[in-house]
Chains A and B, each alone.
Chain A
Amino acid sequence: MTAPINQTDAEFAAAPDRPQILTPPPQRSRRMALLIEHPTMWIGLILLMLVTLMGIFAPWIATADPSALNPAFRVKPPSADAWFGTDMLGRDIFSRTVYGARVSLVVGAGVAICASVVGLAIGLLSGFIRWADNIVMRIMDGLMSIPAILLAIALMTLMRGGSVFNVILAITIAEIPRVARLTRSVVLSVREQPYVEAGKACGTSTLGIIRRHIMPNTMAPLTVQATYICASAMITEAILSFIGAGMPSSVPSWGNIMAEGRALWQVKPSIVFFPALFLSITVLAVNLLGDGLRDAVDPRLAKQV
């Protein structure tokens, strides 16, 4: 059917206007939207980058050699020469704190990566192999029933002697069960998804299913979990060093600095205060980043129909 050629617009009945009742949201670029919607992530990221830069450029930032003894200049309060004061051996606390960032960051990142990789492997294994599941998960339950810090202390004792490697290893073992459980739960829910069944129907092998369908789905929650593990590893490392079970006392780590100031902390709180402050800021930064990531990858929020 065609319209008569001479018909004018006026002869067509137009529907009444449909007014706008909601103002449209402002148009932003994706990056801006991400920044505005997840400000905590960006605050965390910036803080963390500052701390990282401090660790990397420690030799240039530090005002003195962190291990240089200066017996004449012991237990001084903060001053223009020593910004955070000096400790019982006359070492410059500012320089030691700056160098301490290295230990915290290396341990945090190291544990996060190692625990994620091993935990992912264990989680995949127990999510896919029924008989292994029971055994592996009971071991994980057993590990989880011991407080992480006690387990780490025990492991440090077994390994006799602190080094960055040993500290990372000890804390990693204590953190693995959390990752393994998380991965396993993701695997168990994803493997029931119809798209996994569809993959099987297409003839995809079990390894292919794991690699193409399951693994990518574990990445988002695993990344978020890794940041929390990183934060908790930094704290555990500080505690280990504080009680003398962690890094050798020659290495400036925040836990070590605090341990050295322990005896004097009522008279000279600055020795403990500054490393503690940096530790708190770093852990806060990592946690903020983790929270932001979690919000950003959460499908319920990400969907936004």
Chain B
Amino acid sequence: MALLEVRDLQIHFRTATAVNRAVDGLSFDIEAGEALAVVGESGCGKSVTSMSILGLLPTPPGKVAGQINFRGRNLLEASERQMRKLRGAEISMIFQEPMTSLNPVFTIGQQIGESVRLHENASRAQAHDRAIEMLRLVGIPSPERRVDEYPHQLSGGMRQRAMIAIALACNPALLVADEPTTALDVTIQAQILDLMQDLRSKVGSAVMLITHDLGVVAEFAERVLVMYAGRKVEEAKVGDLFRTPRHPYTQGLLNAVPKLGSSLTTAEPVRLAEIPGRVPDLSKPLSGCAFADRCPRAQEVCRRIDPALEAKAPGHFAACHFSPREVSAA
């Protein structure tokens, strides 16, 4: 049994005029200790998926259906009280914007200690010691001093480290990181990615990394899940995905990113491969494949029959009628 099993997850939102199908029929697993990346462009449903795992979506206007089984228990049926016990202790989350997710009126130490005291019944002194220990672990210099500082006294990179310290304070089994480095500069991003990789091996948490940055995926993840318009279009080991992307959307994405060092080979400027058009409106019903309108390979059948996710190679799944299959159904 996987640590987290998501089955047929649907997250819909009702607006004044329509129902927005933000996530529509998503299934995936995360094994214990694994690093899974979820990539996709804005509006593909990757962030709401992570919010739904922690039970943080406002319902209504949202509605979540399907199953999110964590250690075999369906979180969608858990009470708010049970979820509170789980959040921070077994499943933690890191957000994109460290400044807004830290509470400005409490010290860093208090915020790290809070979850320790809440979930492990630690005393104030124990919590304080644990906070210092965590700050040292995430590489914040002079943690004895920093522990009593407020978020605004830390730099952006330091704040993200503090966020990670809070998230990891109770050794969670699953860490959900929603664009954890997007707001950071490249040199700081490199630090944070190294830190997360390092901590993953030390603490042994599984990490679900939500990002739009294919570079970050390649550096960090073991397995990748590509989302488009609320659906999973491809899933594979990171090496396989980058070597042989099997869904036209993934191929398009990989070709559209300018790559460091790639333009130097030619004197004339190269055009980037574009994906024409724009993402479909999720508040209107989609027939067939969600990517059909932008897909270079689309045929008439793609607009009629919604392609199922099929194993195209061992451990490599794609939802495309015309992506060649290397194995006969694994």
Contact = CB atoms under 8 A, between A and B. Distances in A.
Q: Bound pair: A and B?
A: yes
B247 interface: no
A147 interface: no
Nearest to A7: B301
A25 B19 CA distance: 7
Interface stretch (A15-23, A90-98, A211-219, A267-275): A15-23
A20 to B, nearest CB: 8
Contacts of A1: 297, 322
A14 interface: yes
B21 interface: yes
A12 B10 contact: no
B297 A37 contact: no
A304 B301 contact: no
Contacts of A37: 16
Q: Interface range on chain B: under 10, 10 to 19, 20 to 34, or 35 or more?
A: 20 to 34
Contacts of B20: 305
A19 B25 CA distance: 9
A82 to B, nearest CB: 51
B15 A9 contact: no
Contact of B24 (A18, A23, A25, A305): A18
A86 B139 CA distance: 87
Nearest to B65: A21
Contacts of B306: 14-15, 18
Interface residues of A, number: 22
B163 to A, nearest CB: 27
Given A9-B301, A304-B16, A21 B63 contact: yes
B12 A14 contact: no
Judged by DSSP, the binding face of A is: loop
A31 to B, nearest CB: 14
Given A2-B299, A3-B322, A14-B307, A22 B15 contact: no
Contact of B305 (A14, A22, A304): A14
Interface string B5-34: 000101011111111110011000000000
Contact of B21 (A3, A14, A16, A18): A18
Given A3-B301, A12-B307, A14-B305, A22 B63 contact: yes
A35 interface: no
21 contacts: A1-B297, A3-B321, A9-B301, A9-B305, A13-B308, A13-B310, A13-B321, A14-B305, A15-B306, A15-B309, A16-B25, A18-B21, A19-B10, A20-B19, A21-B10, A22-B12, A22-B14, A22-B63, A25-B17, A33-B16, A305-B15
Given A15-B307, A22-B12, 5 more contacts: A1-B322, A13-B310, A15-B306, A21-B65, A304-B16
Interface of A: 1-3, 9, 12-16, 18-25, 27, 33, 37, 304-305
Interface of B: 8, 10, 12-21, 24-25, 63, 65, 297, 299, 301, 304-310, 319, 321-322
